[in-house]
């Protein structure tokens, strides 16, 4: 579904990603993990066509993202950026309708015949339908996150790119949001900070370090002290979570092996 090959990206003249290769299967939920500033957001933005690669390429459904128009990209991948300024008096439904932009054409009467239906479906799937007519400015952080997800779903793209979808949420909303994301049929690539949540919800994880992919695989394979310690520069203990049965990572002290 998504094929990243030998990708290098610079931002402001500084190399952020170098020689990254990664393949994501259709329908898979892949988490990008790694320390702050390692290039998770940059990778998501490049896949979503928001940044141009210096070298290498990204294929989504066989199309080179760098050669597509913003419109074509938006039909292939739906991006949810990390922070959105929601200070405007738009209703939830109006925000979700923006997801239909890539299907509309200027000067066309009734440009998007199944738009309304898709918007309603996205509102239903994300549980935002009941406050669809409220102003987004009045929503809580968790509700806003679901609205953004609804907008991404309304885009009807086969792949979703989510940048820290749970970063500002309390544990209740973290779990509810991830439950929802994991239940989607779409291919999902998400930057996730919380290693335990990544282990619990994702099919595979990609560990990034120094602008490169250090390891890719099932959470159990990647979340080992051996791999994590040098990347996060901290001593860690990896155990099995007694309740969920998935990997649990505990940071021990700040001065690790490296």
Partner 1 sequence: MLALVATVAAGIGPVSIEAVTVAKVLANAVRVPVGVELYASGGSALQLPAVGLRWAPVTDFEVEQLHATIVLSVRLPRIALGATVGFALAAAGTVMQGFFRNPMADPSIIGVSSGAAVGAVLFIVAPFAVPFGLGLRGAAFLGALATATVVYLIATEGGRTPVATLLLAGVAIQTFLGAVTSYLLLHSGESMRRVVYWLMGHLDASRMTEAWITGLLAVGLVGLMYLYAEDLNAMLLGEEEARAVGIEVERTKRILLAASSVVTGAAVAVAGVIGFVGLIVPHAMRLIVGPDHRVLLPVSALAGASFLVAADTLARSGAAELPVGIVTAALGAPFFLYLLRRREVSEL
Q: Is 205 a binder of partner 1 (CB under 8 A)?
A: no
Ramachandran region, residue 156 (left: φ > 0; alpha: ψ -120 to 50; beta: rest): left
Burial of 175 (C-beta count, 10 Å sphere; 0-12/13-18/19+) = middle
Q: Between 75 and 214, name the residue whose CB sits nearer to partner 1.
A: 75
The residues that bridge with 63 in the sheet, in sequence order, are 60
Q: Which of 180, 115, 174, 184 is nearest to 142 (CA)?
A: 174
User: Which two tokens mark 227?
Assistant: 């791999």
Ramachandran region, residue 34 (left: φ > 0; alpha: ψ -120 to 50; beta: rest): left
Residues 176 and 19: their CA atoms lie apart, in Å, by 35
**Residue 8's CB: how many other CB atoms inside 10 A?**
17
State which of residues 10, 11, 54, 90 lies at the interface with partner 1 (CB under 8 A): 90
State which of residues 86, 193, 196, 203 lies at the interface with partner 1 (CB under 8 A): 86
The residues that bridge with 23 in the sheet, in sequence order, are 3
240 within 8 A of 247, measured Cβ to Cβ: yes
Q: Is 94 a binder of partner 1 (CB under 8 A)?
A: yes
Q: Is 53 a binder of partner 1 (CB under 8 A)?
A: no
Q: Is 14 a binder of partner 1 (CB under 8 A)?
A: no
Q: Between 168 and 246, name the residue whose CB sits nearer to partner 1.
A: 168
State which of residues 24, 43, 73, 209 lies at the interface with partner 1 (CB under 8 A): 73
Q: Is 167 a binder of partner 1 (CB under 8 A)?
A: no
Q: Between 83 and 185, name the residue whose CB sits nearer to partner 1.
A: 83
Q: Is 113 a binder of partner 1 (CB under 8 A)?
A: no
Q: Is 155 a binder of partner 1 (CB under 8 A)?
A: yes
Provide the binding-site residues for partner 1, judged by CB under 8 A.
Answer: 45, 48-50, 69-75, 78-81, 84-90, 94-95, 98-99, 101-102, 104, 106-107, 137, 151, 155
């Amino acid at each position: 579904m998504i094929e990243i090959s030998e990708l290098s990206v610079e931002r402001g003249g500084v190399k952020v990603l170098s020689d990254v290769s990664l393949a994501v299967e259709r329908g898979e939920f892949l988490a990008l993990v790694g320390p702050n500033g390692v290039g998770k957001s940059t990778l998501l933005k490049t896949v979503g066509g928001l940044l141009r690669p210096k070298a290498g390429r990204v294929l989504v459904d066989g199309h080179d993202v760098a050669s597509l128009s913003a419109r074509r990209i938006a039909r292939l991948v739906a991006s949810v950026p990390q922070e959105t300024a929601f200070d405007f008096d738009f209703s939830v439904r109006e925000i979700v309708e923006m997801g239909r932009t890539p299907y509309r054409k200027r000067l066309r009467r009734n440009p998007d015949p199944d738009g309304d239906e898709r918007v309603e479906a996205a509102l239903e799937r994300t549980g935002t339908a009941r406050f669809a007519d409220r102003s987004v400015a009045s929503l809580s952080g968790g509700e806003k996150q679901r609205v953004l997800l609804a907008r991404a779903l309304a885009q009807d793209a086969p792949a979703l790119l989510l940048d820290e979808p749970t970063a500002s949420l309390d544990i209740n909303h973290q779990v509810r949001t991830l439950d929802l994301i994991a239940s989607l049929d779409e291919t999902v690539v998400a930057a996730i900070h919380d290693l335990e949540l990544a282990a619990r919800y994702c099919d595979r994880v990609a560990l990034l370090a120094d602008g490169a992919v250090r390891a890719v695989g099932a959470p159990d394979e990647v979340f080992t002290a051996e791999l994590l310690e040098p990347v996060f520069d901290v001593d860690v203990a990896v155990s099995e979570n007694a309740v969920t049965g998935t990997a649990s990572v505990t940071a021990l002290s700040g001065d690790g092996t490296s």
